[in-house]
Structure 1
Amino acid sequence: MGEERDDADRDKPTTSLSPSAEFPPLSAQDVEALRRFGEQWQVEAPVRALPVDPELPPSGPSAAHIRRPNERFRPDQPGELTATPAAEWPDTRLGRLTVRVRRVLLGPPLTTKAVLRERLRKLVALPVLSSDLLSSVAYGPEALLTVLVLAGSAALGLSLPMAAVLVVLMLAVGASYRQTVRAYPHGAGSYLVASDSIGPRAGVTAAVGLILDYVLTVAVSVSAGIAAITSAMPALAPLTVPLSLLIVAVLLTGNLRGIRAAGNIFAAPTYLFLGAIGATIVVGLAQAGARGFTVVQPPHVPPTEALGVLLVARAFASGATSMTGIEAVSNAVPALRPTEWRNARTVLTWMVSFLVLLFAGLILLIYLNGLVPRPGETMLSQLAHHTFPHGPWYVIIQATTALILLLAANTAYNGLPRLLFYMARDAYVPRRFLQMGDRLALTNGLVALSVAAAVILIVSRGRTQALIPLYAVGVFLAFTLSQIGMVNHWRRHRKPGWRRSAAINTVGATLSAIVLVSAAVTKFIAGAWVVVIAVPALVFLCIRIRRHYDRVRQALSLRPDEGEKELTQELVPQQVRHLLVVPVARFDEASLRALAYVVSLGKPSLAIHVSPEDQEADRLRDEWTAWGDHIRLETVVSPHREILEPLTQYIAQLHDRSPDVTLTVVIPEVFADTLWQKILHAPIEKRLRKALRRIPGVVVTSMPIHLRKA
């Protein structure tokens, strides 16, 4: 990513998600440094002569015995074993129960090779990636009209020209993202485009905008879906928040089953919604045509605000929420079947076409029928009542609307974990977002999204209108940076037709910037200030995370600076000097096992005893003499009966006295089988281990002592 990428970053695979992304290959320079270090190693024969065969040969007389299902490892070639499902099965009762529950909820684990089979065909990718975009027509037109009606019912006539401008914006941004998909076929969308063509910080800013958008997508979609349900069944209104959290839990479980399974589960509601809204528009236009497209006068609504530029800009920004989700395809290109970019462009074209038809059709019908926003019932519910006053169609439309709104969040569940994956690969978010779960899902990203959305739903009490002001700023920030990045991309590469492409992206960037500024300014007091503050704060946090990982990478680099002779010596075994240290509280089997272990290693050893009083220290020294005084014992008397800190400080001073000596502290630790047994033992070992890990040059290990079963 720009000037901040190092050699290892450039070697990272960029074509698709991979479980190996957490362990990128070494650069050529690192491999050369590794070779130099290896040439300095001197390993004696006894070290390579092992007392146990690491290839785990079969225990029976036949080699075929190891391939039985109950065997845990299968030999594939010399030096390589493959873990069978039995090797992944926990030994503890609680662990086995946890695995069984996970299997019931999520299904059996998938092998890494199955990642190719998990890709989506176009007919499944369309509902998976477009549910957010298409469902937004259920609240986008209403959001626009809710602001316009503040100037009175006479101002509703502006909805048609404003809708026309929004359609132009949809087409411009859609065309821009078609070019983004072709130019950047590896996914990551706005993040990768802005990073590559503007700079790393612009990329992080675009990514933060998308992160906020994805979280709000889940919150808004779920709250709007619950609103559609409570419009038809008002008795459920007091249960808005619990029902919202239940839906988030269902979405999380469905997506943890894997992208293909989630697509199969959530595909049907999207197509049902398209059919229901399409039928409403066709029938509604036919009814309007039968009366000569005469406009029904809306009921009189007195103005509460003056019609001015700020109100129109606020209404335009609210209506632009219908475009959220249009970037989802560019983030998920690797999730489609080959040829990925071509299929992604096709899906994007379908999405934008449906969006324009549904949005324009609904705005036109609402205008022709003279409908106005009113509390307690959504405008889509009013339109369905007006279009289908009799029969089951109203219930069908409300049911499909509720379903698509509830499942529209699935777009965010597909997009955010992937975005976090790419950001984690570039070290801007924690590395744990690179990890894949049993079903090849990016589990940590899914869980993080669910938790964040649940918090927002609780704070907002599930009210859609409270969330809409937060919605447009983040996504149009990403849109704007992405389109500016594409303009720079075409100017830099100057491929045939680049001027036309740059012009399309310039239009998209300009219109997106207008919406961004309008949303940030006009909705600032209504709640957009939260996003305006959150974006730079999160960008700052991402940069700090990157700096930390850069420090870690530099500290662990195989190519130290010229002056770091000490580090080079630590990487050569014959240059490492040892001192084994055993804290001894009392003479018992645990202490004797730890002492026997350290003496067997044949390295210098020291025992330390911290005593609360002189008499106890004298008694242990007498016992030490009776044992045979096989290794040096040092006692420390602690007059105030503090054990942990004096022991830690003593070991720290040993290190300060000889920083070139590696101190290995072996801690005897009693291992209890159950939770109630663990409560009976003081956690001094864990506290000591935690304290010693702060000291450089100190290795902490434990000697577990397992209790004999009665």
Structure 2
Amino acid sequence: MNLNLGNVSNALIGRSLKTEELKGEKFNVFWGLPIMSSDAISSVAYAGEEILLILMPVMGLLSYRYMLYASLCIIFLLFMLIFSYRQTIDAYPGGGGSYIVATDNLGTTAGLVAGASLIIDYILTVAVSASAGTAAITSAIPSLLPHTVTITLVLITILVIGNLKGIRESSKVFGVPTYVFIFLILVMLIWGIIKINFMGYVPKSNYKIPDVSGTITIFLFLKAFAAGCTALTGVEAVSNGVPNFREPSQKNAKIVLMLLAFIVLLMFGGISYLATLYHAVPNSNVTVVAQISWQVFNGGILFYIIQAATAIILVMACNTAFAGLPLLLALMAKDGYAPRQFAKRGKRLNYSNGIIMLGLLAAILVIIFKGDTHYLLGLYAVGVFISFTLSQCGMFKRWTKIKINGWKHKAFINGLGGLLTFVTTIIIGVTRFTRGAWVVLILIPIIVYTMEKIKRHYLKVAQQLRLSMDELRKYEKVSFEGQKRYVIVPIDTLNKSFLKALNYARTISENIIIFHVSVDDEVTNKLLKKWNEYNIGIPIIVKKSPYRSIIKPLAKFIDSEEYAAGPNDTITVVLPQFVVTKWWGNILHNQTALLIKTILLKRRNIAIVTVPYIIDEN
């Protein structure tokens, strides 16, 4: 059975879309909210748990009081960021968020640092969210715990395929579960509060609260606050992805941003409050949300529905990264700081190369950290708060520089936001340094250096390819009279593939050299015997290769005095290459033509022509 890759691709991600169809592939508010905000919305499922993980071993029962205080501080910071990013959307409707803002106002290096921070954050978003989704599944079905990594990798693969379908298709597939999760969590919050305050339910914790009563310290509180700041990841994605919204894109993006703030306020604040009422205790096998919903719904069917919805939304949170990172990489690629392949749209009009790369890197992280969210969260939030800070500082500088109407209150909002996010960045960096933050602080300079190297490469290439008018006029005066055209046709076996290449060589020159590299005397003798029998009329040159290298003898022959071509003559190497129709067939054959081409392409005086010969296996 012949496997047609085109049919497989169409079945998985759909038919190719025309460029004109791009307008129809953008979000409206209803579908934009779940896709662009799913990371921030889903963070409520584990942000409160991270706060308790810090407080519980030291303070025991008193942890719940200070958890609420930390949650209120985080909610205040959330609204500062929301108001700040509304101004960013107005000022930079082209998207790009921190990268564009920092580059435009603070310089290239600041922009690259912001871009590198966002890249790390988006990759971690996918790894953390997929791992957290798996944790929700294993909380409901503990027998699946040994398969954590495998389940997480399968979830990431499904997300990659889903996002390759295009913006419109992925928003419908992944948007509905987000709304279902919001509805179910609100039901849990309302019923959980009614059950205790109006029905007299006395909660019984599923796990023992540590019998300690330590005192709160500034450092401990700040550490808990930093841990809970994972609830703020994903807030910037809306300002990064403004071009993904339908017109009026800025208005729609700002509506989504405000709806996001309202939903996170209700859900994060509500779950933190329920955790104090129902005395949830952080546990590596059962999440805090699972413990709360078990008590609220008495372990009934709604408990399992909540767990399923939580698992799905945690996985859906990855879509924020899949919507944001490819667009960010496309902007950076257009500026020359990322490979240009990231700026090309795929068959479904999305930046498919960025989507695939994001999935691969997140999968590698999951394998390295064995799908454990607590290990991964140690690296999380540092990068995003660096980008928050650079964005706010960039906007503050913008307002103080251009001084448009109302610039003072705009500068105050961004200035205060920059100060708060900078302090938070320091807190997260210090409190999480030994838990993995040091890795991020090392990776950012490495990524920035790599992006600068990419830019220098593109500049160097452009400089060498640039054609001036003087060079063009000089070229017009060049005389090709007397210039000879030489053709070399490498041969390994005398067959139909070689004969097709030879026939082509005869159409461009009479000066043809048949060149054979001998690595096996028996094979060479058979070739020469066959060559003489067919009496083609062209001499064959044989060079022995004691070290079995095919390419070096050919390159050496071209450079030697034995070869008659002069420095101004044209040398064309015609490579016969057979092509198999089965997708797996290339694995079974030596890719000699490809290796020869790779080496000879580095020589300016050589032109290379590949002549394919199709092997039909049907």
* Paired position in structure 2 for 1:537: 446
Q: What does 1:131-530 align with in structure 2 at a 5 Å threshold?
A: 131-153=38-60, 154-290=62-198, 301-303=210-212, 307-389=216-298, 391-530=300-439
Q: Secondary structure at the match of 1:429?
A: coil
Q: Which amino acid is 1:264 matched to?
A: K
- Superposition deviation, residue 174 in structure 1: 0.9
* Paired position in structure 1 for 2:9: 102
- Superposition deviation, residue 147 in structure 1: 0.6
Does the Cα contact within 8 Å between 2:486 and 2:509 map onto a contact in 1?
no
The answer for unaligned runs of 5 or more in structure 1 is 1-92
- Superposition deviation, residue 322 in structure 1: 0.2
Q: Following the alignment from structure 1 to structure 2, what is the Cα–Cα distance between the partners of residues 438 and 183? A: 31
- TM-score of the pair, normalised by structure 1: 0.77
Deviations 1:36-88 (A, max 9, x none): xxxxxxxxxxxxxxxxxxxxxxxxxxxxxxxxxxxxxxxxxxxxxxxxxxxxx
- Superposition deviation, residue 373 in structure 1: 2.6
Give the one of 594, 604, 611 matched to 1:696: 604
Q: Following the alignment from structure 1 to structure 2, what is the Cα–Cα distance between the partners of residues 532 and 242? A: 29
Q: What does 1:56-95 align with in structure 2 at a 5 Å threshold?
A: 94=2
Change (3 A) 1:385 1:685: closer
* Paired position in structure 1 for 2:36: 129
Give the one of 465, 469, 485 matched to 1:579: 485
Deviations 1:389-438 (A, max 9, x none): 37543333222222211211111111111111111111212111122222
Q: Which amino acid is 2:415 matched to?
A: T
- Superposition deviation, residue 706 in structure 1: 5.7
Q: Following the alignment from structure 1 to structure 2, what is the Cα–Cα distance between the partners of residues 520 and 347? A: 30
Q: Which amino acid is 2:18 matched to?
A: T
Change (3 A) 1:439 1:291: same
Does the Cα contact within 8 Å between 1:610 and 1:636 map onto a contact in 2?
yes
Q: Following the alignment from structure 1 to structure 2, what is the Cα–Cα distance between the partners of residues 647 and 552? A: 28
Does the Cα contact within 8 Å between 2:166 and 2:348 map onto a contact in 1?
yes
Does the Cα contact within 8 Å between 1:606 and 1:634 map onto a contact in 2?
yes
State how many pairs are aligned: 609
Q: Following the alignment from structure 2 to structure 1, what is the Cα–Cα distance between the partners of residues 511 and 41? A: 71
* Paired position in structure 2 for 1:6: none
Q: Which amino acid is 1:664 matched to?
A: T
- Superposition deviation, residue 186 in structure 1: 0.7
Q: Secondary structure at the match of 2:286?
A: coil
Does the Cα contact within 8 Å between 1:582 and 1:595 map onto a contact in 2?
no
Does the Cα contact within 8 Å between 2:497 and 2:576 map onto a contact in 1?
yes
Deviations 1:153-186 (A, max 9, x none): 2344222222222111101111111111110001
Does the Cα contact within 8 Å between 2:565 and 2:571 map onto a contact in 1?
no
Q: Secondary structure at the match of 1:165?
A: helix
Q: Following the alignment from structure 1 to structure 2, what is the Cα–Cα distance between the partners of residues 217 and 639? A: 53
Q: Following the alignment from structure 2 to structure 1, what is the Cα–Cα distance between the partners of residues 347 and 513? A: 46
- Superposition deviation, residue 244 in structure 1: 1.1
* Paired position in structure 1 for 2:594: 686
Q: Which amino acid is 1:226 matched to?
A: T
Deviations 1:436-455 (A, max 9, x none): 22222222111111111111
Q: Which amino acid is 1:383 matched to?
A: I
Does the Cα contact within 8 Å between 2:514 and 2:540 map onto a contact in 1?
yes
Q: What does 1:609-648 align with in structure 2 at a 5 Å threshold?
A: 635=541, 637-638=543-544, 640=546, 644-648=551-555
* Paired position in structure 1 for 2:27: 120
Deviations 1:650-674 (A, max 9, x none): 2134799854444222234455666
Q: Following the alignment from structure 1 to structure 2, what is the Cα–Cα distance between the partners of residues 386 and 339? A: 45
Q: Following the alignment from structure 1 to structure 2, what is the Cα–Cα distance between the partners of residues 700 and 539? A: 36
Larger RCO of the pair (alpha carbons < 8 Å, separation 6+): 2
Change (3 A) 1:346 1:653: farther
Deviates more, 1:178-187 or 1:661-670: 661-670
Q: What does 1:543-622 align with in structure 2 at a 5 Å threshold?
A: 543-559=452-468, 569=474, 577=483, 579-583=485-489, 585=491, 594=501, 597-601=504-508
Q: Following the alignment from structure 1 to structure 2, what is the Cα–Cα distance between the partners of residues 582 and 484? A: 62
Q: Secondary structure at the match of 1:701?
A: strand
Q: Which amino acid is 2:367 matched to?
A: I
- Superposition deviation, residue 590 in structure 1: 6.4
Deviates more, 1:665-674 or 1:370-379: 665-674
* Paired position in structure 2 for 1:650: 557
Does the Cα contact within 8 Å between 1:166 and 1:320 map onto a contact in 2?
yes
Q: Following the alignment from structure 2 to structure 1, what is the Cα–Cα distance between the partners of residues 582 and 195? A: 72
Change (3 A) 1:610 1:261: closer
Does the Cα contact within 8 Å between 2:580 and 2:617 map onto a contact in 1?
no
Q: Following the alignment from structure 2 to structure 1, what is the Cα–Cα distance between the partners of residues 124 and 616? A: 54
- Superposition deviation, residue 230 in structure 1: 1.8
Does the Cα contact within 8 Å between 1:484 and 1:505 map onto a contact in 2?
yes
Change (3 A) 1:638 1:202: same
Q: Following the alignment from structure 2 to structure 1, what is the Cα–Cα distance between the partners of residues 98 and 37? A: 17
Q: Which amino acid is 1:261 matched to?
A: E
Q: Secondary structure at the match of 1:437?
A: coil
Q: Following the alignment from structure 2 to structure 1, what is the Cα–Cα distance between the partners of residues 294 and 485? A: 83
Does the Cα contact within 8 Å between 1:180 and 1:330 map onto a contact in 2?
yes
Q: Secondary structure at the match of 1:130?
A: helix
Q: Secondary structure at the match of 1:470?
A: coil
The answer for unaligned runs of 5 or more in structure 2 is none
Q: Which amino acid is 1:212 matched to?
A: I
Q: Following the alignment from structure 1 to structure 2, what is the Cα–Cα distance between the partners of residues 518 and 259? A: 37
Does the Cα contact within 8 Å between 2:489 and 2:501 map onto a contact in 1?
no
Q: Following the alignment from structure 1 to structure 2, what is the Cα–Cα distance between the partners of residues 688 and 584? A: 10
Q: Following the alignment from structure 1 to structure 2, what is the Cα–Cα distance between the partners of residues 293 and 641? A: 83
Q: Secondary structure at the match of 1:255?
A: helix
Q: Secondary structure at the match of 1:665?
A: strand
Deviations 1:171-204 (A, max 9, x none): 1111111111110001111111111111122112
Does the Cα contact within 8 Å between 1:652 and 1:695 map onto a contact in 2?
no
Change (3 A) 1:465 1:495: same
Percentage of pairs with the same residue: 36
- Superposition deviation, residue 103 in structure 1: 1.7
Q: Secondary structure at the match of 2:608?
A: strand
Q: Following the alignment from structure 2 to structure 1, what is the Cα–Cα distance between the partners of residues 6 and 438? A: 44
Change (3 A) 1:595 1:236: closer
Change (3 A) 1:580 1:383: same
Q: Following the alignment from structure 2 to structure 1, what is the Cα–Cα distance between the partners of residues 140 and 2? A: 44
Q: Following the alignment from structure 1 to structure 2, what is the Cα–Cα distance between the partners of residues 152 and 353? A: 31
- Superposition deviation, residue 580 in structure 1: 2.1
Q: Which amino acid is 1:282 matched to?
A: I
Q: Which amino acid is 2:332 matched to?
A: M
Q: Which amino acid is 2:394 matched to?
A: G
Deviations 1:466-515 (A, max 9, x none): 11111111111111111111111112221111111111111111111112
- TM-score of the pair, normalised by structure 2: 0.88
Deviations 1:121-153 (A, max 9, x none): 101111111111111011011111211113222
